[in-house]
Amino acid sequence: MSRRIASLLFYLGSGSCFDVDTFLWPPDDHFILFKQDFMTQDADRPTSSPSCPLPGGGTRRRDVLSTVIVGAGCVGACALAYPFLDSLNGTKNTTLGEDDSIDVDIAALRPGQQLVVTWRGWPVFIQRRTPEMLASLKATDIVQHLRDPDSKILQQPKDAMNWHRSVVPEIGVLIGICTHLGCVPSYATPSANDKAGKYSCPCHGSQFDAAGRVYKEAPAPYNLPVPPVTMLSATQLRIGQSKGDPAFSIASIQQI
């Protein structure tokens, strides 16, 4: 008898079936617990809650309380997790508002050559274009192979939304990161065979023309990004500020 009572009280106490209204404390003398019973419970412990006698049926107060406590605990755990996970976002906003533009002297750059500088940690290609390169940018037989020949997709400031994708036709400036999966395309300098010059990505074969416009036959979806550029003089340019499109933010482009 006492074993049955002990297991019943255990059952009540273990949370699967318990009514706060019947919770007597100190317990009645008949409710005797055996320490040994706690250790060797499994044989006679009821295992399913449907056998639990319900005074009035319906939801038990303890079930409601348990659910509320577990729910509140989960909310608390999520709130606690927030600062830790948020800290993984790091310091991305620290440079916001700071002037990170750079000035580049291109006096030594000869037609057909390319200069690579670093801006915001990205490789930036600066090319001085030959007349043949400029002519190739306007050639209709090339244009029909391009995904976005008129630079309709936002990959450049407004003052570079033109046939040569730059502020002045002779100087091209591109961020050298393939829009497929981020490798740096290599520059094929204009040669006797191909006077136009082009970019091809070593990773997955994407092709771009001299103005960074992407060819349809390869995986890259967008033209190479053009950074904001201001021509300070014929031999001096500033990357990071655009005189023709002052509101332009490099963060707003379709894809870097």
| Residue 4 makes contact with other proteins by CB under 8 A | no
Task: State in angstroms the smallest separation of the CB of 241 from other proteins.
Answer: 24
Note the Cα 156 to chain centre separation in Å: 21
Binding mask 216-245 for other proteins (x = CB under 8 A): ------------------------------
Question: How does DSSP classify residue 246?
Answer: T
Query: For strand 122-128 and strand 114-119, is the pairing parallel, antiparallel, or unpaired?
Result: antiparallel
> Site for other proteins (CB under 8 A): which residue of 41, 113, 162, 200?
41
Instruction: Please list the alpha-helical segments (H only) found in the chain.
Output: 2-13, 35-39, 61-87, 131-138, 140-143
Asked if 83 interacts with other proteins (CB under 8 A), we say yes
Q: Which stretch binds other proteins (CB under 8 A): 76-84, 166-174, 210-218, 221-229?
A: 76-84
Amino acid at 211: A
Q: Specify the stretch interacting with other proteins by CB under 8 A; choose among 28-36, 116-124, 133-141, 240-248.
A: 28-36
Cα distance between residue 171 and residue 162, in whole Å: 13
Binding of residue 92 to other proteins (CB under 8 A) = yes
Q: How far is the CB of 80 from other proteins (least distance, A)?
A: 8
Rule CB under 8 A: say whether 15 interacts with other proteins: yes
- Spell out the residues 6+ positions from residue 4 whose beta carbon is closer than 8 angstroms to its own: 44
Half-sphere exposure of 97 (CA within 13 A, CB side): 2
Q: Which of 198, 178, 176 is nearest to 187 (CA)?
A: 198
Task: Single out the residue of 160, 188, 191 nearest to residue 174, CA to CA.
Answer: 160
Which residue is catalytic, options 145, 164, 180, 204?
A: 204
Q: Tell me, what DSSP letter sits at residue 26?
A: S
For 90-200, where are the E strands, in sequence order? Answer: 102-105, 114-119, 122-128, 171-175, 186-188, 198-200
**Total interface residues for other proteins by CB under 8 A:** 32
Least distance from other proteins to the Cβ atom of residue 18, Å: 8
204 is catalytic: yes
Tell the smallest beta-carbon distance from residue 14 to other proteins (Å). Answer: 6
Q: Which amino acid is at 135?
A: A
Among 49, 67, 77, 82, binds other proteins (CB under 8 A): 82
CB of 163 to other proteins, least distance (A): 42
Active site residues: 204
**Using CB under 8 A as the criterion, which residues of the chain lie in contact with other proteins when the complex forms?**
6, 10, 13-15, 18, 25, 27, 32-39, 41-43, 69, 82-84, 86-94
